[in-house]
Amino acid sequence: MRHLRLLGLGLLALIEVTGALSSPRPGFSGDHLGVLLGLVGVAIGLIGGQRAPKDAMAAQAASIGALVASSVALMWLQPNGPGFLGVFLAVVAAALRGPGSLGAPVVVAALVGQALVGMLAGGRPVASVVLDELGALAFYVVALLARRLREGQDRAEQLLMELEQSRHAQAEAAVLAERQRLAREVHDILAHSLSGLVLQLETAKLMAARDRVGPDLAEVVDRSLHLAKAGFEEARRAIGLLRDDELPGPERLQALVGSFARFTGCDCTLDVAGPERSLSSEARLTLYRVAQEALTNVRKHAEADRVELHLCYEPAGTRLTVEDFGPNGHGQVSPGKEGYGLTGMRERAELLGGELTATATGTGFRVDLWVPA
Q: Which long-range contacts (CB under 8 A, 24 or more apart) does 102-108 make?
A: 102/57, 102/60, 102/61, 102/64, 103/140, 103/144, 106/64, 106/65, 106/68, 107/136, 107/137, 107/140
Q: Is residue 28 part of a domain?
A: yes
Q: Check residue 338 and give its pLDDT.
A: 52
Q: Is residue 32 part of a domain?
A: yes
Counted domains in the chain: 2
Task: Give tens-digit pLDDT for 249-266.
Answer: 899 999 999 988 888 888
Q: Is residue 293 part of a domain?
A: yes
Q: Is residue 297 part of a domain?
A: yes
Residue that terminates a domain, selected from 87, 105, 124: 124
Q: Is residue 236 part of a domain?
A: no
Closest CA to 288 of 251, 335, 239: 251
Q: Check residue 313 and give its pLDDT.
A: 95
Spell out, as residue ranges, where the chain has pLDDT lower than 70.
1-4, 54-55, 98-103, 121-123, 176, 179-180, 182-196, 232-247, 328-340
Q: Check residue 331 and give its pLDDT.
A: 47
Residue that terminates a domain, selected from 109, 124, 139: 124
Residue that terminates a domain, selected from 60, 89, 124: 124
Residues with Cβ within 8 Å of residue 110, at least 6 apart in sequence: 68, 71, 72, 87, 90, 91, 136
Q: Check residue 239 and give its pLDDT.
A: 64
Q: Is residue 355 part of a domain?
A: yes
Q: Where in the sequence is the domain holding 316, given as residue range(s)?
A: 248-373
Q: Is residue 181 part of a domain?
A: no
Task: Return the CA Rg of the chain.
Answer: 41
Task: Give tens-digit pLDDT for 63-87.
Answer: 888 888 888 888 888 888 888 888 8
Query: What is the helix, strand, coil percentage profile of the chain, to 5?
Result: 70, 10, 20
Residue 318: CATH number of its domain: 3.30.565.10
Q: Which amino acid is at 194?
A: L
Q: Is residue 210 part of a domain?
A: no
DSSP 71: H
